[in-house]
Amino acid sequence: RRRRGVDVAVIISDTFGRPWRLGHVDFAIGVAGMKPLRDYRGEKDMFGYELK
């Protein structure tokens, strides 16, 4: 921001595939500098653990 005078958003993503299925899915691990479309923090995963 100091050098260029603009804000920069950063998205850290990963890709995974599922066995015996075609294609891959890209998902965000983290995001900074912008609001995510959906924030799952505070919700529970499939095993009942709270997402942080």
Which residue blocks in 1-52 are alpha helix, DSSP H? Answer: none
Domain-wise residue ranges, the chain: 1-52
Mean pLDDT of the region 25-48: 87
Token pair 């899915």 is at which residue?
A: 25
pLDDT at 4: 82
Q: Which two tokens stand for residue 48?
A: 């009942």
Q: Which two tokens stand for residue 23?
A: 């294609």
Reduced 3-state DSSP string for 29-52? EEEECCCCCCCCCCCECCCCCECC
- Residue pLDDT, tens place only, 2-33: 888 888 899 999 998 888 878 888 888 889 99
